Every structure is written in structure tokens, then in C-alpha cells.
A and B are shown apart, each in its own frame.
Chain A
């Protein structure tokens, strides 16, 4: 180990203690019963537990809906922000990112209070609203980044070759911004699958998501079943990441303010 790489040692230790070790523990717990013996019962329990499976399906459904909603609102927003003619100020971009400076729990609680004040009953609609509100910046920012960096001459070349403005968008701008879209989809989809606080506050626990079940199990000291459920969710997230592909992530990188 040379001198320079020894600087990474503190981070390496941190990684070991707070990332690698908990992961190993989750795996060990998931395959143990209450008294510490090896078992597959936690896994089989999940596949025979109608409630858990239903919640799991609902979580995926809500996550997909939320992702689509964020995309539908986020893409036009990013497009407008990245266009020099439509948006002449960098301040507008900051305004879109600004809500993220406030803790998500506080924002969610405040949103719930607003619904209560307005007399709107809490349910799936309010849940989607809250989720979209929380995760929209994660969709906007990567798309904005890609659009902002895109060479204007691509759109000009398309126009030059006879593409109308809508054809320019569909055949050039949209395909070229897909890395940003994938990055945004991932950054919205993954946390939505595992969220539990938003559903708790914005539906008064009427709608339970997968994250809620894990939390309940662990709160009730059912560590082994909770770990198995967690493992299952990790797999889902892992698969989504793989689907997206590494090359896309690299192009779309660009942090959130």
C-alpha cells in the first residue's frame, strides 16, 4: 500500500463498519430463526404470506406510478429550465432544488397538515402527491444536467436535415437525454419502493408500503423476518440498478446542489 492510498483508510474502516458489516448481518439474520439456527423459513414465510406479498406488489405499483408522475412533470420542467430562451436565470433552477434543503420528514408533516386544513381526506392521492413533491427534484436535476450540457448543434443539425421542432425533440433531444432520464428514474424509483414515513404520515397508516412492514417487524423485535424482507428489497433495488447499466450513470452524473 503506497502513501497516497493509505489516506483512504478511514473511509475504508467506515465502509467496513457501517456498510459491509450490516449487510452481512442482514444476510445472517435472514437465514436464522429466533434461536440462532440456520433456516429457510423466513424466506418461505414471505412467499406464503398473502399480506406481505400484497404490500410488496402495492409498493412496486406506487413506486412505478410515482416515477411516471415525476417524469411527466419533471421532464418538461427540466426542459424549460435548460432552455436559455425560456429561462434566463440560474435562480429558477435553485428554486426547484430549494425544498430539498429542508428535512423530508418536516416537509411531509407539513404537507399532511395542509391536507387536514383543507379537509382533503388522506389516501392514495395524497400519498402520491407527497411522494412526487419529495422526489421531483431527483428527477429534474439529472435531466436538466444532460439537457444543459447537450451540444446545441445536434438540434440544429436535425433541423437542417428537415426535422420540424417536434421531430427534433422526438428523434434527437429525447433520445440523447435518456441517460438523464434513467438516472432520474432510478433516483426516484429506488427510494419510493422502500419509503415508509411518507405513507405513514400522508395516509394515516391506511396504506402500508413494503418499507412500513419491515419497520413494523423490526420494531416488534422480529429481526429475522425483517432481515429477510430487507434482503428481498435490496435484491429488487440491485436489479433495477443493473437494468439501468453503468454507461448511462456515468454520463448523467452531476450531483444535486
Chain B
């Protein structure tokens, strides 16, 4: 990549709303003519990022460069970018023609050229005979086309699209996806697209930027992101996956579901805890005992159109999802294997909950804005310490009476034999919990930690 190819260069971009960090030190570049998608769940900061690029928001920190010039101080009407808004934002007092001609009229383009360009762009979005129509009389899909035409007619350097297909029904969405891709190919304009729909992102993009909680999780081609997710969040968010706890034995050898497998990953070290992702279509059935790596019993089998989705119980007590073109009867014993290529090993982001804590008295410690009882032997009152609680030692309750504090379940990952939950406390801190109980996303829970499960250690300077 040469410097000339980069059209947008974002450096150290941060933005907060009311003290809450929505974007945290974002670094990213976009190449000329690329189709880039910001993908993430709602509240991950993807729309904020788009609005910062469009100029509707000003960054707290960092710069946005367009073709080498910092544009963070330039108002939106001077930026050579155009946006397609989520709810179209077509002007209801103007007809289709005047909506599209709006930008050109402001630029004082001669009327005959405006007419030529509007006609051309209407043809591009297959809306040729709709010039005189009132925009409110159009269907959602037609309004969407007009909104795209209104942005494209100005020949922007970059086209920004904010979940443009979210309001359309499934069939229409699929058709528009193909048309958008086609338009992008024909025009060669850089597209920056925001969506929470992973399938849409995989279909459309040259590059996907996966975001969560104001941070970029992974940047890569759709194939990279799907096949080699860097962490459990990306693996779970993109496609179906079996996410499992594992242990890297040595280079190219990993253990999970209490079996050892060959893999292609290196450099993790020896005997290191890791997360392992295996896509359901990458677990194969075999009848050859020499190929078999582990045995399992089929416990459910559902037809999904192209393939069958089966849940199997392994001989070691783990549950795995498998997708295959051929069904296997429920209750049957099957032999399974996984190719080394298809095992994606990921560094564990954390192995236990760690919090900055303060000893507040004999047998008392404060963290997460809450006072807990625990063994403080060897520490003085006022000591700054780190409190460590293992994931499985956090109890979740469905009432708050006996709880130490409360929170909401925000992320649920099934790990084959237990659930790994992320619980956000009222103060906005995360507690990670391993549990066998079934909770739903959004559940309000009481959190209880027993005194003997809190381990204190001296805090290293500058370490949280």
C-alpha cells in the first residue's frame, strides 16, 4: 500500500458523550475505491464514527484525514462526502427530481447539466420515471433508491451509508445488497457502510471493521474475519461457532473438550490457556476409525434448508454444533474429526476478574463501588490492592435481597459445557461469569461473591 491509495486516515480518534467513552483511540485507514463496513452490535460506536467522518460531530481527540488533509475542523457542508441516512431523510416538501438536484442547485450547476446528471443517476438506481413523484408516495425501497441517488449525484469522494437497508424487508434487502455492490463496482467511489447485520457485511465488503464497546476488535477481509476471528466476541458475532475453552500444549498442538488436536497455530507458548473456535461446518463425520478423533452422540437434528444442524454430546461431556449436508439420526453414535486448518486458536483476553480495590478495614475491601467481606491478612487498612475472582466463583441471583450488587447480562457465550456471561454493573463495569444456569440477554441479576473467593494481591505500580 502506498500513501497515495489511502483516502481516509483516522488517527487516535476518541469521542465521549456525557462522560461515557463511545469511541476509544480508533486508528484506521480506508483505501481509495474500497468498500469498508463498520460492523458491531448497537452501541458499539459505529454510527458515531460515521457521524464524525461526515462532520456532524467533532472528535474529542484525534484527527480524520481525507486525502492527506485534516478535515476534523471543517463543517459538513464543505466536506466532499455524502451520506445516505438510515431513515432516508428525503425532503418531504420537494419531489424526487428536486430532492436529487438539491446539492447541485446549491453548487450553482447549470440547469441543463443538472437535468442530465439527475436523469443519469435515476437510471443508475432504476427509478427513471419517478422524477415528478412526491417522495412520500414512494415505498421504502424506492425512497432508499432516491436517497442513494441524491448522495451519488454530487460525485462524492466517499459515500457514507448509515444502515441504509435496515428498514427494508428481507427480500428487498437482499436485492438492494446486490445492487449496491454493483453500483460500487461501476462507480469506483469509496463506500463506508455501517451495519449490525453480519451477513450483510460479509456479502458487501472488501474490508470489515468489527467494533465493540468503542474499540476496533478486528479489521480484515470477510474471509479473514470469518475464518480467523481474533477473539471470542468476533467469533460469536460473525456466523455460527463453537467457542470452547482450551489449552495450548505446545506449538501446533491444542487441547479442548478433553481431547488433543493438531492445529496450525504457533507462538502462544507452552501450556497456556486459550479460546478455541471451530465453525459448525468444519466438524466432519467419518466411518474410518483411524480418522476419528473423538466420539459423540447426536442429540438433535434440524433441517435448515441447505444443511442439517445437529447438536452432539461428546464422550467427554461437551455439546457441539455441527452442520452437514447429511442427517444423522438422533441417538446414533458418530465418529468425528476436525482438520488442523479449521481450528482457530485465540489468545484469552482474560482468565479471571481483576479489579482495583482498596482495603477499607479489618476483613473488608472495596471494589466495584461496593464493600465486600474477605480475608485481608497481610494487608493494612488503606492498602491499594488487586482483587481477583475466578469466573466460576461469581454467583448470579434472580433477586437482589442477598446480592452484593446488581447488573444486567449483556453478552452470553456458550462454551460447550457452560455459559460465559458478561454482566454490566450499574456503574458500567464488567463482571465475567462462568455458569451452568441459563440466563437471557438483558436479564437483571443480583451478583454475589463469597468472602473466601476474593483473592487479594499487591498492586503493581501503574497497573489496574
Contacts and interface: CB of A to CB of B under 8 A. Distances in A.
A190 B87 CA distance: 38
Interface residues of B, number: 24
A208 to B, nearest CB: 42
Interface stretch (A99-107, A128-136, A159-167, A210-218): A159-167
Contacts of A178: 93
Contacts of A158: 91, 102
Given A153-B87, A167-B106, A160 B93 contact: no
B54 interface: yes
Contacts, number: 60
Contacts of B103: 161-162
Interface string B73-102: 001111001110101011111000000001
B91 A154 contact: yes
A151 B77 contact: no
A154 B151 CA distance: 14
A163 B105 CA distance: 10
A154 B85 CA distance: 10
B377 interface: no
Contacts of A167: 77, 106
Contact of A161 (B55, B87, B93, B106): B106
Interface in B328-379: none
B76 A157 contact: no
Contacts of B424: none
B93 A151 contact: no
Given A151-B87, A156-B56, A156-B85, A161 B102 contact: yes
A175 B93 contact: yes
B107 interface: yes
A172 B106 contact: no
Nearest to A164: B77
B13 to A, nearest CB: 20
Give the residue among B55, B91, B92 with the most A Cβ atoms within 10 A: B91
A153 B85 contact: yes
A177 to B, nearest CB: 10
B245 interface: no
Nearest to A161: B103
Given A153-B85, A167-B106, A160 B77 contact: yes
B89 A154 contact: yes
A19 B405 CA distance: 64
Nearest to A167: B106
A154 B55 CA distance: 15
A111 to B, nearest CB: 39
Contact of A153 (B89, B93, B150): B89
B154 A162 contact: yes
Contact of A151 (B76, B82, B89, B102): B89
Given A151-B87, A156-B85, A157-B150, 9 more contacts: A153-B89, A157-B85, A158-B102, A159-B76, A159-B77, A160-B83, A161-B154, A162-B106, A171-B102
Closest 5 CB pairs of A and B: A161-B103, A153-B89, A157-B89, A159-B76, A162-B106
18 contacts: A151-B87, A154-B91, A156-B56, A156-B76, A157-B89, A157-B91, A159-B55, A159-B56, A160-B77, A160-B81, A160-B82, A161-B77, A162-B103, A162-B107, A163-B77, A175-B93, A176-B92, A176-B93
